[in-house]
Chains A and B, each alone.
Chain A
Amino acid sequence: MDTFAQLAHGFVIAFSPVNLLWCLLGTTLGTAIGVLPGLGPALTIALLLPITYQVAPEASFILFAGIYYGAMYGGSTTSILLNTPGESATIVTALEGNRMARSGRGGAALATSAIGSFVAGTIGTLGVAFLAPVVVKFALSFGPAEYFSLMVLAFITVSAVLGSSAVRGLASLFIGFVVGMVGVDLQTGQPRFTFGLTQLLDGVDVIIVAVGLFAVGETLYVASRRYAGKDEIVPLKGSLYMTAQEWARSWKAWIRGAFIGFPIGAMPAGGAEIPTFLSYAIEKKLSKHKDEFGTTGAIEGVAGPEAANNASAAGVLVPMLTLGLPTSATAAIMLSAFQSYGINPGPLLFTTQGDLVWGLIASLFIANVILVILNLPLIGLWVKLLKIPAPQLYAGILVFATVGTYGISQSPIDLVVLYLLGAIGFLMRRFDFPTAPVIIGMILGPLAEAQFRRAMTIANGDWTVFFTRPLSLTLLALAFIGLLGPHIWGYVERRRLKGQEAIPGDA
C-alpha cells in the first residue's frame, strides 16, 4: 500500500502546472528528435544538461523522461513511412510497417504503433513502480554465460526473418557480423577491419547501416525500376485509423511485446533491439496471416516490436533507479544529470530521493498519455507524405537520410559508408537477398562474441560453463527446442500419417 501512497504523492508533484509544461515540452521535443535518424535522446539530453544549473531536479528529470519516451514514439514514424529508422530500436518496425504504408495501411501502422507504445509504456511504467526490486534481482542473476545463451536463443528465433532462402538469409547475417566487427575490439583493444582509418575505430553506427540498406538501397532500386512501372505506393486504402479486425490483431501483440520488452530492457546488457527481434519472430510464428509478412505488411509485425521497444525503455529505468546502473547511453547521461544536482544515484535513491523518483515515475505515466494524444491526430498529416509523387518523395528520403547520417557525428566518412551500404542494399534487393538479417547480425553478433569471450575469461577457458549454470542451460535447452522442435514434430506427424496409410499395403 505504501507504494500507492508514494505514487499518489508523485502524481501531486508531476501534476503541478510547471511540471506538466516541462513534460509537454519534453515529449514534443522527444517526438521530433525521434523522427530524425541522427539525433537520439542521449545526444539531446546531453546538449540540454546545462539546464540542470537553472531548474529544479524534478522539472529537469520530467523533461528528460519526456524526451526519452517521446523519441521512442517518434522513431517509428519514419520507419513506417519512409523506411528510414530514426532509432535502432525501431529498425524492426520498418520491416512490416513500411510494407503496410505502401499498400495503403500506413495510418493503421502508425496508429497501432502509437497505441501499442502507450499500452506497453504504461505496462512498463507500472513494472517500474511495483516490480523494480524483484525484476532487478532476476536481471542481476544474468552473467556473461547467461547472456551468451540468450543470444543463442535470439539467433534461433530470429531465423524467422531470414526469408524464404536459408542460404541467402545466412549470407546476409554474415555480412552483418563483418560490419559489426569493424572497430576496436573491446576485449583486446586491437582494431579490426578499420583499414587504417581512425574514423572507423569506433565501429559503424547501426543506424547508418539500417538507413543505408533500407532507405538508400530502396531509393536506388526504385530509381532503377522507374520505367518498369512497378512498385506503386498506395497512399491510403480504407479507413485512416485501425479497423475492428486490425484492433483484434493488434492487442495481443501489444501485450506480448510489453512482456518481452520490459524484463529484457531491465537486464544490464539487454538493450532495446533484442526484444524487438524476439517479438517480431513470435508474432510471425503465431500469426494467422503469415502471407502478409513481407508482402502487404502484417499489423502484428508492427504492433509487437513497437510495444516491445517502449516497454524496454521503461525496463532500462529499473536498474538505473534501483541500483544506479546506467544500462543505455540515455540512462548514463540522465545519471550524470543526477550528479550535477549532487545526488548520487544508487541503491538508496528510492529512500533518499523519494519525491524525485516518484515524481519521475508519475510523469512517465503522464508523458505516455500526452504522447498518444499528440501522435494520433498527427497520423492524418504524416500519411499525406505518401501522396508526394515518387521521384520527389524518394529524393526527399535521400536528403533526409544524408542529413540525418551526417548529424550523428559530423563525419564525412559516415556518408561514404552510408552510400556504400546503399549500393550494397541495392544489389541485395536486386538479387533478392533479405536486408533485415544484416542488421540482426550486426547487433547480435558482436554482443554474442563479447559475452562468449567474457564467459570464457571468467571460467578460465572452460566451455562447460554454459551447461553447468542452470539459467544458461535452460536458455540453451529452449534454443535447442526452438531449433529442432518443429522438425521433430513434423517427423512425428509424417510418421503418424504414413503409419496409417502404410497398414493396408503392409500385407
Chain B
Amino acid sequence: MLNRRAFLASTAAGLVAAHLAPAFAADAPQLEIFVPAAPGGGWDQTGRTIDQVLRKEGLISGSQITNVGGAGGTVGLPQFVSRYKGKGNSLMVGGMVMVGAIIANKSAVTLDQVTPIARLTGEFEALVVPAASPFKTVADFIAALKEDPTKVPVAGGSAGGSDHILFGLMAKTAGVDPTKISYVPFAGGGEALAALLGNQVAGGISGYGEFSEQVKAGALRVLAISADKRQEGIDAPTLKESGVDIELFNWRGVFAPPDVSAEDKAAMVKMMEDMTKSASWAEECKNRQWTSIPLTGEAYETFLKEDIVRIQGILKDLGLA
C-alpha cells in the first residue's frame, strides 16, 4: 500500500513537471546540466534558470538536470569529471564557493580538471550593521576593528565561505591580523539575519539580497558593498570608494567536462554568450537580484586562475587551509 502511494506521489510530481515542459523543438540540441548541490540552492536555481532561458530562446530542445549535493560541490565534482568525460553537451554549475571548498576540503579533484566555459552571474556582498549601531561608515568600522578586532563580532555564513573571505580580506587590507578577527558563522542566512536584528553582533556580511528588505524597512544600515561600482537603488558606497581596496563577487559560472572537443567547447561558449545577451536572461537576473557579469573563454580562464590564488591566500591567512 505504501509503495503504491509513493508511486502515485512520484507520478503526480512527474505529471506536473511534464505538463510544464514546452513542446520539443526538433533540431535544437539536448543539454545535460549537472548541479553539484541539492535542489533549491543558488547553483540549482542557476541550473534551472539556464534550462528555462535556453528553452525559451529555442537554443536547446530540453535538458536533463542532475543534482549531486554535498560539501560545497566537492562531492559532485569528482563524479562530473569521471562520468561526463568528453561529453560535449554537458555543463556543470559551480562558482566561488566551490573554489573555497576545494581548498578547505583538500579535494583531490580540482577545477583544473574541468573546462571553464563562462562566468554568468555574481552576487556582491554587503557589510551591514543594525540600525542602532554606532558605526556610520566603513571608516568607523575599520577604526574599531583596528583598536580591538575581538570586540567587533561579525555574523555571516559558514567558515571559509565568501562572507568569511570578505571579512578576512577587509581585515588584512586594514592591517589587522586576520586570525584575530571575531567571525561568527551561522548555518543559514536567516539565522545570521536574526542575530543582526536582535543586536547580538556588531555587523554582518552576506550577499546583498539577504539584507535588502531589512535595509528598505530601516532595520539595518549598509556601510558598503563589494561591487565594482555603485548600484542603482542602493544608498551605499563601494568598499573601494570607502578606502578599502577590495572587489568581490560571489560568482557563479558553468564548466564543461574534461576532454571535450574544441568545436563542442566553442559551441558551448557561443550558447552561453547568446543566452546572457537575451532579454529573458536579463529579466530572470533582475527578478532574482543576480548581477549579470558574463565572462567567457580565455578571459574567464585567467579570472578563474587569479581567483583561486586570491582565495587560497586568504584562507591560509585565516588559518583554514
Contacts and interface: CB of A to CB of B under 8 A. Distances in A.
Contacts of B200: 143-144, 458
A474 interface: no
A339 B287 contact: yes
Contact of B288 (A46, A144, A201, A340): A340
Interface stretch (B110-118, B150-158, B169-177, B262-270): B150-158
Contacts of A42: 40
Interface string A314-344: 0000010001111101011100100111101
B213 A348 contact: yes
Interface in B241-288: 286-288
A326 B188 contact: yes
A50 interface: yes
A142 interface: yes
B159 A347 contact: no
A336 B68 contact: no
A346 B70 contact: no
A409 interface: yes
A268 B184 contact: no
B13 A189 contact: no
B122 to A, nearest CB: 17
Interface in A166-194: 184-191
Given A184-B105, A188-B320, A381-B1, A333 B38 contact: no
A182 B295 CA distance: 38
B293 interface: no
Nearest to A450: B187
B83 interface: no
Contact of B13 (A48, A186, A188, A450): A48
B16 interface: yes
B319 to A, nearest CB: 8
B13 A50 contact: no
A53 B52 CA distance: 10
Contact of B158 (A36, A189, A323): A189
A54 interface: yes
B144 interface: no
B320 A332 contact: no
A269 interface: yes
Contacts of B190: 268, 319, 325-327, 331-332
Interface stretch (A27-35, A249-257, A280-288, A428-436): A27-35
B95 to A, nearest CB: 17
A381 B186 CA distance: 44
B159 A323 contact: no
Nearest to A329: B40
Interface in A190-248: 190-191, 198-199, 201-202
Nearest to B210: A324
Contacts of B288: 339-340
A46 B158 contact: no
B198 interface: yes
B16 A48 contact: yes
A386 B3 CA distance: 15
Contacts of A15: none
Interface in B299-314: none
B85 to A, nearest CB: 19
A9 interface: no
B283 to A, nearest CB: 9
A32 B11 CA distance: 12
B191 A32 contact: no
Given A53-B52, A346-B217, A29 B9 contact: yes
A225 to B, nearest CB: 25
A29 B68 contact: no
B75 interface: yes
B165 to A, nearest CB: 11
A381 B197 CA distance: 49
A47 interface: yes
Given A48-B16, A345-B213, A458-B153, A43 B38 contact: yes
Interface string A32-76: 110110010011111111110110000000000000000000000
B136 to A, nearest CB: 22
A500 interface: no
A336 B191 contact: no
Given A32-B5, A51-B16, A268-B190, A346 B185 contact: no
B32 to A, nearest CB: 16
B191 to A, nearest CB: 5
B2 interface: yes
Interface core residue of B78, B188, B194, B320 (most chain A CB under 10 Å): B194
Given A50-B52, A458-B153, 9 more contacts: A48-B17, A51-B16, A186-B187, A326-B190, A339-B289, A341-B287, A409-B69, A411-B70, A460-B153
24 contacts: A42-B40, A43-B39, A45-B40, A78-B2, A140-B198, A143-B198, A144-B195, A144-B200, A187-B185, A198-B78, A201-B105, A202-B75, A268-B190, A268-B191, A327-B191, A332-B40, A336-B40, A339-B288, A341-B287, A346-B214, A384-B1, A400-B2, A409-B69, A457-B182
Interface of B: 1-3, 5-6, 8-9, 12-13, 16-17, 20, 38-40, 44-45, 48, 52, 68-71, 74-75, 78, 104-105, 107, 150-151, 153, 158-160, 164, 182-191, 193-195, 197-198, 200-201, 212-214, 216-217, 219, 286-289, 320
Closest 3 CB pairs of A and B: A346-B213, A201-B71, A46-B39
